Copies of this chain bind each other. A is one copy, B any other.
Amino acid sequence: MATGKINHPYYPRDMEIPNYIPNESSVTEILVIFFGLVGMLLSATWLYASRMQQLKGRTITKAKICWLVACAAIHIILEGYFGVFYNTLVQEQTYLAQTWKEYGKGDSRYVIGDSFTVCVESITALFVGPMAALTAYAFIQNTPNRHVCQLLTSLCQLYGTILYFTTEIKDGFIHTKLFDPLYFWFYFVFMNILWIIIPSLCVIESCLALNTAVCIAETEELKRKAKKQ
């Protein structure tokens, strides 16, 4: 492609992306593989959780474990790939690079190595992903630290996603194709707003559960002190 001509599908249209090579796979292939793998992971986790005696009849907990396992996989594998290869992925043809090149049509910060995006994704891959896995394990085992783990994981997801949206709003949506059904509404809005809605609910749930636990623990402490006296 001739130098100076726009050789990429990203916004803003006049931006230059040196070394960009279009995806070999079609959009359908990329999306089918992505949602297929996520669907398989969710199904496998659901089946595994359903076999656990301690999770019998606890539909919300099982759904949450599925969510956390999917989060862990997406954070560590997909976002981890971005954190490591953000500088070169526009010229790569691996499945993960092609996924990011496709997603970049909804947010070009992923194909230009935007500093905020690289940092928030790297932190998510390094810390929030493993924390999500640990939280899933804590809910499977019903350990006492499950709500603290969930609060840490969900609050980081929530804060990261709020920053992700607000920085793009502040930039005037220049990195996306505003109001495009696939790129804007599906990739940019829907695929991220999930990480606002679900973590918000998880944060509220854990705050309430932890407050209740503190109330019970303090009442017991007072009772014990009263007995001693």
- A residues near B (Cβ < 8 Å) are 115-116, 118-120, 122-123, 144-145, 147-148, 151-152, 155-156, 159-160, 162-163, 166-167, 170-171, 203, 207, 209-218, 220-221
Contacts and interface: CB of A to CB of B under 8 A. Distances in A.
Contacts of A162: 123
13 contacts: A116-B163, A119-B167, A120-B163, A123-B162, A145-B214, A148-B151, A151-B151, A152-B207, A155-B159, A213-B213, A213-B214, A217-B217, A217-B220
A159 B160 CA distance: 9
B163 A123 contact: yes
Nearest to A221: B216
Contacts of A217: 212-214, 216-217, 220
A213 to B, nearest CB: 4
A163 B163 contact: yes
Contact of A216 (B167, B207, B220): B220
Most buried by B among A160, A167, A212: A167
A122 to B, nearest CB: 7
Given A210-B214, A216-B216, 15 more contacts: A116-B116, A119-B163, A119-B166, A123-B163, A144-B215, A145-B211, A151-B151, A151-B152, A159-B159, A159-B160, A209-B214, A210-B213, A213-B218, A214-B217, A216-B217
Contact of A115 (B116, B122, B148): B116
A86 B26 CA distance: 43
Contacts of A171: 115
